[in-house]
Structure 1
Amino acid sequence: MTREPSGYPRRQPHLSPHETSLWNWAQNATLAKKTQQACPASESDLQILLRHHRGQVRVMGRRMSPGRMLAVGENDDLLIDTSALRGFISSDEHSATFAGGTPLHEVYEQLKAMGRILPASPGVIDAQTLAGALATGTHGQGLQQSSIGDEALSIRMVLADGRIETFDRQHPWFPAVQLGLGCLGVVTAVTLRTQPAKVYTCFKTAVSADTLESDLLTWNRDYVMSKAWWFPEENQVHVWAAREANAEEQAQYQANHGDLVEQQQTSDAMNQTIDQTLEHMRSDTQITDENGKPFRTVTRFKDFSDVTGDVYQVFCRGIATPQINVEIAIPLARAGAVIARIKRWHAETQPHMHYPVILRCTGASESWLSPAYQQESCFFGFVIYYAEDGSLSPEGVAFLRAVEKLLAEEGGRPHWGKYFDASLYNWAKIYPQWQAFSQVREALDPQHTFGNDFSQRLLDQGAEQ
């Protein structure tokens, strides 16, 4: 089986209909032979499968993570598809329980129908499964919340020997299970904390990046949720800052039958910057379709306006398109100093970028392996899109490698569901509970059934540091 090479793999945009391998969503890595895929129809089928299986096992949701996180080896190894283990299970006044294989958009739709929301802000993309979101630490923005996993009240798993265990917040191992990298068991049900649905007004603006170091803190302290796109070359920042809607704004929203309200007054302050960004993107990707998905991710910033809607309408607006995405969390208290360093580095080296730096901040997380563990954090996101032929811009790749190295030197913690160079990090140093997580893994899966070459190297590397 072809292994994902180190770094950023080339994409295969035109797979044969007779392909015998299963690929990840981005089509840049093979995960298993199709004959190695298992699709249990129920939790009991999953129990039987694991009880009698002798090889290693990985679990896939929507296959949106890098291939190395999901791939299995040859022979008896299995890749478990949990798509049949999905759906709403139950709810009470303060919580709702869903099967682990439920896509996030189904979770959000069900909660919205109930007049409820998660206290955690959604991520940009809502296609991934609930279990996958927990396993990788999916997060949104806002200092009053952290990752989706931090809203879990209990997590039910099938272990390697087929036993079922349920972990709640009183269990000493719960912080390990909240973000388990898929290495502890198969998550089959998650009970999530919920709260009454709210309506938000999001104010959008374009400002100079001259004072970004201090502005970032102000936006995140003054608003419930904030997100920013920083264009270093143009020294400009596009900012979304949201608060709960007032009575007049809520009335407008209701009068619009619950659809997103866009204000009539628009701003063209980003138009010139976006045109320059699009020029870079078209040159790098050679995509001829003017409305191609990568381009739509930034054209939405042109002629922007304030909006009023629910949290999913306002912030869950991502456009899924194959890309290399690197995201590194920095303690919020040090984010300003890191921004200043990036400014100096950018001025000295003039790196090639075809997408802005994405800045999202969250509150501290309880999960031992969360990049935001025990500290308010700013997630610095960097993206390059694939060219039409599946290649990547060499200059873009060089930029990603250099900026990740810079952030790793600043004590950054990488997002588990995105690309990172594991050799840059001292895991035991940046994660105080790394050894505790390893001990939980040894207790729940002593044979390392839920592992593969990459996860084994990763956890072994942390144990040796």
Structure 2
Amino acid sequence: MNEETLYPLRNTHATEQDPQLWNWAHNATLGNRQQLRRPQNEAELQQLVASHHGKIRVIGSRMAPGRMLDIAASGDLLLDLSALSGLIASTDDTVTFAGATLLSDVYDCLTQMDRMLASSPGVISVQTLAGAMATGTHGQGLQQSSLADEAIMIRLLMADGTLREFTPQDSEFGAVQVSMGALGIVTAVTLRTRPAHIYTCFKTALSADTLEQDLPQWNRDFALSKAWWFVDDNQMHVWNAREATAEETQAYQQNNREVVKQNEGEGNSQLNQTIDQTLEHMHRDTQIRGEGGKQFRTVTRFRDFSDVTGDIYQLFCRGIAVPQINVEIGVPLAKTPQIISKIKRWYAENQPHMHYPIIIRCTGASSGWLNPSAQQETCYFGFVVYYADDGTLSEAGLHFLTEVEKLLAAEGGRPHWGKYYNQSLYNWGAIYPQWDAFRALRSQFDPQQKFSNDYLAKLFD
């Protein structure tokens, strides 16, 4: 598979008035706009699915790579379920949302209830709840796993138009948790909640010399841990968070529940030179000058950094949605030290061009059959290349993605389903113990492959 197929260029002239429906990044068409349907309620959706005999795909927020959503034949349907969103019900320790609810709305609702999920949020909150679960979206921290692991009920619209509700007591629940839309349409999800905790996040810049030992230790010592590895400069920027003390929580409450910066005005400038060098690489790669672009804000915020106190969504749901090529591979946590050493050796030998720091997050094991964290504590290595203004991509940056993915795949890595990856590198049956069981369930739930497309057919058939 060549890079042009793996990492499509962006159409900078695409608009919402085009007859073709584009994915969010405008690097793939999903189908013709005439194929789009917008049911207004669950009953209307049921009727639409039951009566349709072609292929059907839900487009969600269109954040996924286009290949996951595309429909080829003119008689096939693309579904916009944005009307089926919002809070459906709540109890003292659960919330039930419609599947098309944006994560930002889920988090806002929980905050108003003074509740939170046990799972740490992913950085981008404009995904739909069902889409984020279906692709294994996760945050950071070994005390939790993915968003899908907080579900205790998933309502699925089957290919024949009937509704089924799955709970952890059902043998198929692990398959439904992370299904890539291959089993049916998720119309509602009940999630466990717990009282909201306030966290203090300690931000540190340090050498990557002992990263092999440091990374597992950070994740054992702190509830939440995230790191950015600036390989060119052998530098780390690390966020380690623990629950706030009573004094820190009081200061947060007195600040109208807004993020409190510790040592205001005394930010740490230790990473500033590294940030300037990274920005220069990004400017050169994207042909964008100045610092007004959103992509540059993702690293400029590391300048003059300081420790902060806030809730989990304020601190960790900080993603900036910018069209990009994003590759993220999860590897067994137990193998992570040796994998870090392997990346260091590869970098020393090849001196590749670094477009952006490597993002490192770890999670606990997942019960989802096809979750990249299935049955094992996992360390995720994330790689980003931003699009230039003309829709092109840095060839050197893409070469780095391609080569590092090969390295991680050879170590038993599992790619994040909602991001980019080279399918030819993976033996799915070998890395997912429940792979064949999922394939069998897909055939049982959707014998006519109504919810399939070329992407899913290549995976499972």
Q: TM-score range by the shorter chain?
A: over 0.9
* SS of equivalent to 2:5: coil
- Aligned counterparts of 2:356 and 2:397: Cα–Cα separation in 1: 10
Shift of 1:17: 5.7
The aligned counterpart of 2:245 is 246
The aligned counterpart of 2:78 is 79
Give the letter for the 2:47 counterpart.
I
Give the letter for the 2:374 counterpart.
Y
Shift of 1:18: 3.9
The aligned counterpart of 1:358 is 359
- Aligned counterparts of 1:418 and 1:15: Cα–Cα separation in 2: 21
Aligned residue runs from structure 1 range 7-406, under 5 A? 7-16=6-15, 18-263=17-262, 264=264, 265-406=266-407
The aligned counterpart of 1:463 is none
* SS of equivalent to 2:295: helix
Shift of 1:14: 2.1
- Aligned counterparts of 1:395 and 1:336: Cα–Cα separation in 2: 26
- Aligned counterparts of 1:143 and 1:80: Cα–Cα separation in 2: 36
Distance 1:21 1:5, change over 3 A: farther
Shift of 1:296: 0.5
* SS of equivalent to 1:398: helix
Deviation track 1:407-463 (CA, whole Å, cap 9, x = no partner) reads: 101110000000000000000000000011111111111111101011101112xxx
Deviation track 1:140-170 (CA, whole Å, cap 9, x = no partner) reads: 0000000000000000011111000000110
Q: TM-score scaled by structure 2?
A: 0.98
Shift of 1:63: 0.3
Give the letter for the 2:97 counterpart.
F
* SS of equivalent to 2:341: helix
Q: Gaps (5+ residues) in structure 1?
A: 461-465
- Aligned counterparts of 1:418 and 1:173: Cα–Cα separation in 2: 25
Shift of 1:300: 0.4
- Aligned counterparts of 2:74 and 2:253: Cα–Cα separation in 1: 57
* SS of equivalent to 2:366: coil
Count of residues paired in the alignment: 457
Shift of 1:354: 1.3
- Aligned counterparts of 1:292 and 1:456: Cα–Cα separation in 2: 38
Distance 1:332 1:17, change over 3 A: closer
Shift of 1:5: 5.9
* SS of equivalent to 1:6: helix
1:434 counterpart = 2:435? yes
More divergent stretch after superposition (74-83 vs 61-70) = 74-83
Give the letter for the 1:57 counterpart.
I
RMSD of Structure 2 on Structure 1 (CA):
1.0
- Aligned counterparts of 2:355 and 2:458: Cα–Cα separation in 1: 33
Distance 1:397 1:113, change over 3 A: same
- Aligned counterparts of 1:16 and 1:316: Cα–Cα separation in 2: 28
* SS of equivalent to 2:379: strand
Shift of 1:12: 1.0
Where in structure 1 do 4 or more consecutive aligned residues deviate above 4 Å? none
Deviation track 1:243-284 (CA, whole Å, cap 9, x = no partner) reads: 000011001101101001112131001100000000000000
Deviation track 1:55-101 (CA, whole Å, cap 9, x = no partner) reads: 01111110000000010112211111111110001111111000000
- Aligned counterparts of 2:35 and 2:16: Cα–Cα separation in 1: 18
Deviation track 1:345-389 (CA, whole Å, cap 9, x = no partner) reads: 000001111100000000000000000001000000000000010
More divergent stretch after superposition (76-85 vs 382-391) = 76-85
* SS of equivalent to 1:242: strand
State the identity %. Answer: 61
- Aligned counterparts of 2:12 and 2:225: Cα–Cα separation in 1: 35
Shift of 1:288: 2.7
- Aligned counterparts of 2:254 and 2:455: Cα–Cα separation in 1: 52
Q: Check the 8 A contact 2:32/2:74 in 1, yes or no.
A: no
Distance 1:155 1:84, change over 3 A: same
The aligned counterpart of 2:448 is 447
- Aligned counterparts of 1:117 and 1:209: Cα–Cα separation in 2: 33
- Aligned counterparts of 2:171 and 2:407: Cα–Cα separation in 1: 35
Give the letter for the 2:418 counterpart.
G
- Aligned counterparts of 1:179 and 1:18: Cα–Cα separation in 2: 33
- Aligned counterparts of 1:288 and 1:84: Cα–Cα separation in 2: 40
More divergent stretch after superposition (10-19 vs 85-94) = 10-19
- Aligned counterparts of 2:297 and 2:202: Cα–Cα separation in 1: 20
